[in-house]
Amino acid sequence: MTILDAPARIAAAADASLRWHPDGPYSLHQTLGILLRGTGDPSFSFGPDRLWTAFTTPDGPVTLRLTAAADGAVDAQAWGPGSAAGLAGVPRLLGAEDDWSAFDEPDFHATLPRMVRDARRRNLAVRLPSTGRVVDCLVPTILEQKVTVIEARRGYRYLMYRFGSPAPAAGSAAPEGLRLQPTPEQWLRIPSWEWHQAGVGPQRSATVMRALRSAVALERLAALPSVEAAAKLQVIPGIGVWTAAEVVQRTHGCPDSIAVGDYHLAAYVGAALTGRRTDDAGMLALLEPWTGHRQRVVRMIGLSGFRKPTFGPRMTIQDHRRH
């Protein structure tokens, strides 16, 4: 009788599995970390060398386990009726289509600020992920419009636990409490008082409702180029440049989209590149020489360890439940 170790037992018990081999250094956590809506995001669970997540595919829900293997590969196991569809998207999710070769080309690389060059040298294992799931990214992004991250993520967790569904069972090794985001139909059935209880103001909840009435069309945007997808998102009232950029960064792995209108980003980029705060127009002017790779530049600034001096007013946390 063959005795299987714990990882082998988990793989053997899965409904489907695959192994993906990156074409260079790879970091599971650095690549997929930007998809989490805080450490309490119920649709994710991180471990030292693995990540669990759950989402709904056209074929049904799936629980996905991703593990960094010793040889640099990533092992993926899936459970649930959406297993095949979920695994089909794993390479894109892991950043297989994210190509840094033009960014790393010596002549282009030499034009970058030193902090960006140094950060890239230390972070060759980073990829930009592509989830291909527009609705799953759009809803929590709308919840983050014009409020603090703290209150947006608090509201998102409340709605996830209240209206999301348990992830497909994946055996004793699966983390407790892993949940699926509500489907478009479930989001649309949330009554106004529950949005209020979640601390989500009427403007944001109305934008979610308005967008999800076109959920099928929204998901088709994943097949379009990121620039075209972002433009079509902005046709929906309540969705502007900031929201569209935040979405396509994650759904398409867009290397160029910049979240214009972000409360902190322009000042952060300005301070990093010039030592002075700037506004959106100033940020775009600073990043213009690297058009096509502006999101890569911003990502490397973030990974450089640079911290903007803290001064000026902070955004106030508002409790909409009291109004």
Alpha helices in the chain (DSSP H): 6-13, 28-32, 83-88, 90-93, 101-104, 106-109, 114-122, 134-143, 149-163, 184-188, 192-197, 202-212, 215-220, 226-233, 241-251, 265-274, 280-287, 294-303
Which residues of the chain fall below pLDDT 70? 1-12, 310-323
Q: What is the pLDDT of residue 318?
A: 52
* Residue 312: CB atoms within 10 Å: 7
Q: What is the pLDDT of residue 290?
A: 98
- Half-sphere exposure for 54 (CA within 13 Å, toward CB): 28
Residue 96 makes CB contacts below 8 A (sequence gap 6+) with 20, 22, 127
Distance, CA of 71 to CA of 22 (rounded, Å): 10
Give just the sign of the alpha carbon dihedral 89, 95, 99, 101: negative
User: Kindly report the CA angle at 201 between 318 and 134, in degrees rounded to 5?
Assistant: 115
**C-alpha closest to that of 62 among 32, 44, 42, 85:** 85
Please report, for residues 54, 184, 226, the alpha-carbon distance to residue 220 in angstroms, rounded to integers and kept in the order given. 21, 14, 12
Residue 227 makes CB contacts below 8 A (sequence gap 6+) with none
Q: What is the pLDDT of residue 308?
A: 79
DSSP 3-state assignment of 161? Answer: helix
**C-alpha closest to that of 264 among 301, 229, 233:** 301
Which residues pair with residue 53 across a beta bridge?
44, 64
**C-alpha closest to that of 131 among 144, 141, 120, 121:** 141
Kindly report each contact of residues 307-310 with a partner whose C-beta sits within 8 Å and lies 24 or more positions away, as own/partner: 308/264, 308/267, 308/268, 308/271, 308/272, 308/277, 309/271
Q: What is the pLDDT of residue 317?
A: 44
Tokens of 176: 């407790």
